[in-house]
Structure 1
Amino acid sequence: MGLSRRAYAALRGVHESAVRKAIATGRITTEADGTIDAAKADAMWDASTDPAKQRGAHARDLGRGTAAATRIVAGTKAVPRQAFAAVAETLTEAGADPGAAAGDGGEVSFVKARMANEVLKAQTARVRLQKMKGEVVDRARATAMVFDLARRERDAWLNWPPRVAADIAAELGAEPHAVEQVLMRYLRRHLAEMSEVKVELR
């Protein structure tokens, strides 16, 4: 004889309505007498539920157990809160729920870390495809092109006063060299102001 629905809900750490819904949808089954075999029901529930959406004490215990087992196998310390923040940020960007990704002490469950890794791989593949289709450009190359264009524009402007100074001086009745010096002084001031504009390609 197994457990009643209420007793199983208390054991799993969920509301009784969640157990009724799981039975109604076929995620778990009851015994012939209507009771629930906890071990069998847990296995069925876990197998038919997205780990990212599991709730309740059982899900938290499972996450802590997985994280602990991972640390034992790897021989490493608990994942710090900074790592959890990175995992949560990745999941949030992907539209997934980052809630309950960390266990006690700021640890990241293996399931959540693996999910974040899969999200990152998918994002990387998408960016590569966009680059192949010409929808995105390499930032280093774009920065170099902007820098080269700005340098050529600057050089063209610096060569302009010597070319036009004589014509301007003739129209004004002024000394050509003096006109060139005035043009160059104001032009350098203008270029210095323009150089303060920073281009961020992010």
Structure 2
Amino acid sequence: MGVSIRAYARSRGVSHVAVLKAAKSGRIPLEADGSIDPEKADAAWERSTDPGKAKGTARPAPEAMKPVPEAALGSVRETLKEQGLPASGNVTFVQARTAHEIAKAHLARLRLQRMKGELVDRARTTALVFRLAREERDAWSVWPARIAALMAAELGQDAHTMQKVLETYVRAHLAELAEVAPDFR
């Protein structure tokens, strides 16, 4: 024998609107006459309710919960330390939520900076620096050939010898510069 929606709501400790929504969405069965069989409805309610979203229900026992990977806990601790907040050995839910909110705020700030044009793409920047360095190297590589004759005439030396000496020193200097690797971190 079934009970009314309001009576079932009182026995569950929820509003009659919550019971109506559950019945309308098919989470709990209704009898043919529109009443509710409490045993069937309770079983269906438990099967279809997310325990994390249910009000007034106890949390699952710690042994029933999935373990959190150490990498995630380390990330939470690191985020909290970066902000000068305490990061104890055992991470609490509040600490994890705080770290999550901090990370969301950082991400939002980065998106805003990118939209404003204050941030540049690392790959594009690396390509640009490489292109500029190559252009600079090429300009210096041809410089001895352009200037050697002028310097030789000014110093009263052989132009060919002057060009060879300049090329030797310019190439040595360019080799030193090539050892510098830009790091955009």
TM-score by length of 1: 0.54
Query: What's 2:173 paired with?
Result: 190
CA distance in 1, matches of 2:79, 2:60: 20
Identity %: 51
Counterpart-to-counterpart distance in 2, 1:140 and 1:67: 48
Is it true that 1:79 corresponds to 2:69 in the alignment?
A: yes
CA distance in 1, matches of 2:61, 2:172: 61
Say which of 57, 62, 78 aligns to 1:89.
78
Structure 1: runs of 5+ lacking an equivalent: 1-64, 103-107
Describe the superposition over 1:27-57 as per-residue Cα deviations: whole angstroms up to 9, x where unpaired.
xxxxxxxxxxxxxxxxxxxxxxxxxxxxxxx
Structure-to-structure mapping, 1:13-24, within 5 angstroms: none
Partner of 2:141: 158
Q: Is the 8 A contact 1:165 1:180 kept in 2?
A: yes
* Structure 2 runs not aligned, ≥5 long: 1-58
Q: How does 1:5-20 map to 2 (within 5 A)?
A: none
* 1:155 to partner: Cα distance: 0.6
Q: Cα distance, 1:78 vs. partner?
A: 4.5
Normalising by structure 2, we get a TM-score of 0.58
Check 1:147–1:135 CA distance in 2 against 1; reply closer, same or farther (3 A cut): same
Cα contact 1:91–1:116 (8 A) shared by 2: yes
| Higher Cα radius of gyration | 2
